[in-house]
Amino acid sequence: MSRWTPKQIAHMREALRLARQGWGLVSPNPMVGAVLAKRGRVIATSWHTGPGQPHAEVSALALAGPKAKGAELYVNLEPCNHQGRTGPCAEAIIESGVAKVFYSVPDPNPVASGGAARLEEAGIQVDRGLLADESWELNQFFFKYSTTAKPFVIVKAAASLDGKIATRTGDSRWISSKAARNFSHHIRAGVDAVMIGRTTAAKDDPELSARPWGRRKMHRQPWRIVLDPLLKLPRDLKLFNPQLGGPTVVVCAPEAGQKDREGLRRLGHAVWEVPRAASGLLSLAAVIDEIGRAGLQSVLIEPGATLASSALLEEPVADLIHMFLAPKFLGGKEAPSLLGGPGLENLGLAKELDILKIGRMGPDIHLVLRPSGAFGPSSVQPQAPILGYGHLTDDLDELYGTDPPDSPEAGD
Ligand SMILES: NC(=O)c1ccc[n+]([C@@H]2O[C@H](COP(=O)([O-])OP(=O)(O)OC[C@H]3O[C@@H](n4cnc5c(N)ncnc54)[C@H](OP(=O)(O)O)[C@@H]3O)[C@@H](O)[C@H]2O)c1
């Protein structure tokens, strides 16, 4: 039986719902919501809207004013205890006269943690762990980055039921449904970077921008990262368009020409050099390290067959996989499959994936998978199961509004 009352659970659930409004707006900060309640009734709510903006607790307290005295505060992350761009939440809570604080998970950031201890020192009751699993899952990008300095890596791919990503003549638009493609824009909207391989860039000429439907306006675009070992991609591709906003990074091999590097930099793009892996391709582990060094907390890989094989088999880097399977067969020995590369020699080498979710996205099957060894909750919440919410799918309508049937086609 839960040690929390249904009312307390409902208040924290509301804090989490509010926190989710920050999807794509708050990085490098976590998504945080706060609810102030007195005698079971909500008196103020708020959520963190982005870097430099007040923390959720502080803005809820400001809304409540003197009514905060004696109230309970529900917040999905331990209140901070440091002076950053905004003041420490712990001090604001103490000053407000709040009687009790419920928080879900500790702040893993050594600079900001210690808020709960400070509150207790000041005589405020503190209750930890309410809806900890959901709260951990909500901010896994932030938790992974804070504890490893590496980004959380998502791989997203779509295929037919027989695992094909195009027909034998190369026709690939679109295998998955509009609902699945909309969902991909939702993920793009929430990550710090989107990454593809050279061939996908050259063949599909994607913009790699996040274009979620409905009322949400993107205030920033994810970084675009393309793996182009010898810097041979034509410069008139859409992802080099300076109007898109947000930088484009081209990752190259040590032998890439200096002139090509300078040319790209003159156009305002970044060039990162990484070593080659044993496969001869660029080392993905090194790319992931670079992404972390740039301060990016999450990356979505949208791989062609070569990059999929590289990211899922040869140099596994994924923490979470979103797979869409369209209920159709394409057949054809020559038609490309989801994973290219050399492939495994024997079954014993195949690693099992945890299936976190089997759902539907429009007509397609939506699988959310977790490779073994992927980032887990242990550093933050040792017992937490991984729930496989698959990026807040239940809240998409709330974030964007319902997708009108005549809305423009989402695509690359
Ligand atoms: N169904 C889907 O979900 C989906 C998603 C995206 C793309 N696609 C399709 O996939 C096709 C392209 O796939 P592809 O297999 O030919 O190419 P790809 O995976 O898009 O790009 C592969 C190329 O990227 C470069 N690269 C550098 N480091 C790499 C690394 N560690 N791992 C992988 N690639 C690395 C290499 O360029 P060099 O050759 O210069 O060494 C490599 O040949 C397109 O037709 C596209 O439409 C399908």
**pLDDT digits over 222-254, tens only?**
999 999 999 999 999 999 998 887 789 999 999
Residue 268 lies in a domain: no
Residues 164 and 291 in one domain: yes
Residues 40 and 109 in one domain: yes
pLDDT band at 383 (very low <50, low <70, confident <90, very high): very low
Residue 60 lies in a domain: yes
Question: Is residue 108 within 6 Å of ligand 1 at its C-beta?
Answer: no
Provide φ and ψ at 317, rounded to 5°: -130, -5
Question: Is residue 155 within 6 Å of ligand 1 at its C-beta?
Answer: no
Residues 16 and 152 in one domain: no
The sheet with strand 320-326 has its strands ordered as 270-273, 248-252, 223-227, 193-197, 298-301, 152-160, 320-326, 364-371, 353-361
Query: What residues make up the domain containing 65?
Result: 6-138
Cα gap 345→7, rounded to integer Å: 55
Give 231 Cα–ligand 1 centroid separation in angstroms: 14
Residues 330 and 344 in one domain: yes
Residues 381 and 355 in one domain: yes
Where is the domain boundary, 110, 138, 166? 138
pLDDT at 360: 87
Cα gap 108→114, rounded to integer Å: 10
Task: Compute the average pLDDT of residues 207-211.
Answer: 87
Where is the domain boundary, 120, 138, 156? 138
Residues 376 and 323 in one domain: yes
Active-site residue (options: 57, 72, 302, 315): 57
Q: Catalytic site residue 57?
A: yes
3-state secondary structure of 325: strand
Residues 338 and 193 in one domain: yes
Provide the token pair at 333: 């020995």
| CATH code of residue 310 | 3.40.430.10
Provide the token pair at 300: 């979505």
Question: Which residue has the least CA distance to atom 46 on ligand 1?
Answer: 200
Residues 304 and 379 in one domain: yes
Residues 69 and 161 in one domain: no
pLDDT at 377: 60
Residues 290 and 355 in one domain: yes
Question: Is residue 279 within 6 Å of ligand 1 at its C-beta?
Answer: no
Residue 336 lies in a domain: yes
What's at 261, amino acid-wise?
Answer: R
Residues 177 and 199 in one domain: yes
Which range has the worst mean pLDDT, 123-127, 168-172, 210-214?
210-214
Give 230 Cα–ligand 1 centroid separation in angstroms: 14
The count of domains in the chain is: 2
Question: Is residue 284 within 6 Å of ligand 1 at its C-beta?
Answer: yes
Question: Is residue 200 within 6 Å of ligand 1 at its C-beta?
Answer: yes
Residue 133 lies in a domain: yes
Provide φ and ψ at 19, rounded to 5°: -55, -40
Task: Ligand 1, residue 305: give the atom nearest the CA.
Answer: 15
Prior bond of 28 cis (ω within 30°)? yes
Residue 235 lies in a domain: no
pLDDT at residue 390 above 70? no
Give 243 Cα–ligand 1 centroid separation in angstroms: 25
Provide the token pair at 346: 């024997």
Question: For 135-192, how does the pLDDT look when each residue is reduced to its tens digit (9 = 90+)?
Answer: 988 898 999 999 999 999 999 999 999 999 999 999 988 899 988 888 888 889 899 9
Residues 60 and 175 in one domain: no
Residue 236 lies in a domain: no
Question: For 301-336, how does the pLDDT look when each residue is reduced to its tens digit (9 = 90+)?
Answer: 999 999 999 999 999 999 999 999 999 999 999 999
